[in-house]
Amino acid sequence: MRLLNKIAVITGAGQGIGAAIAKAFIKEGAAVCIAELNAKTAEDVAWKLRADGGRAIAVQCDVADRASIDNAISRTISEFGRVDILVNNAGVNVFRDPLEMSDEDWRRCLAIDLEGAMHGSRAVLPGMIERGVGAIINIASTHSFSIIPGCFPYPVAKHALLGLTRSLGIEYASKGVRVNAIAPGYVDTPIAEAYFQTFPDPAAERKKAEDIHPPRRMCRPEEVAMTAVFLASDEAPFINASVITIDGGRSVIYHD
């Protein structure tokens, strides 16, 4: 019970990595708020967690809207009394040609992948500072430090998210608040599967993604989740303004 009696808000937790983090947090003794844009998937996840004996609520939340994330935090405090942990997991893939990309695509990517984390952090920081303790975990990406052609402007937002992680971590370290990031590579989620299905041979495309990783497989959502448990727990009191990469070693390969 590494998170016993801790209260967590997890954005984008209606599926994939976010849902896995919520499940792992419940298993480790936390209560969670599933803050998710899709109200149905949010409630589905929360219902399953409650059915297994966990404490969970679902709140519809658009992280690009500061008032919306403020509402999710307020609902959590009303239900559970405070917020000890924030996981800024909500994100969106926006892959466009830089010169053909619309202004709306640019704004959407930055609003969700970067500003959403800032909105959430601003909502929880006052309470964390007042209590002298708190953990914020930003789900970044290997796009945060590497570039894959054809993925603009997603890496721009994810690079900036690491800057936000480091800046906030240093800014509030003396107040007892730790801010860290996790940078996964390919993760076997419904979003990844939907991407593979856009190809004529989805199985071949999946195998291609698996084979570029040294372990010859993709990361599992629960592997990201358990790293989040560690960073959120009292076992990581001196880890701050840092990023943990979860990609099986792929990012250290110079070329294939």
Give the catalytic positions in this structure: 154
Q: Which of 102, 105, 117, 100 lies closest to 158, judged by CA?
A: 117
Q: How far apart are CA 151 and CA 121, in angstroms?
A: 26
Q: Which residues of 54-85 are buried (b: 16+ CB within 10 A; e: fewer)?
A: bbbbbbbbbbbebebbbbbbebbbeebeebbb
Contact residues for 250 (Cβ-Cβ < 8 A; gap 6+): 142, 185, 212, 213, 214
Structure tokens at 41: 């998937």
Q: Using alpha carbons only, how large is the chain's radius of gyration in Å?
A: 18
Q: Where are the alpha helices (DSSP H) in 59-201?
A: 66-80, 103-110, 116-131, 154-171, 190-196
Q: Which of 138, 186, 185 lies closest to 162, judged by CA?
A: 138
Structure tokens at 112: 């969700």
Q: How far apart are CA 103 and CA 130, in angstroms?
A: 39
Q: How far apart are CA 36 and CA 59, in angstroms?
A: 6
> Helix 16-27 crosses helix 39-51 at what angle (to 10 degrees)?
30
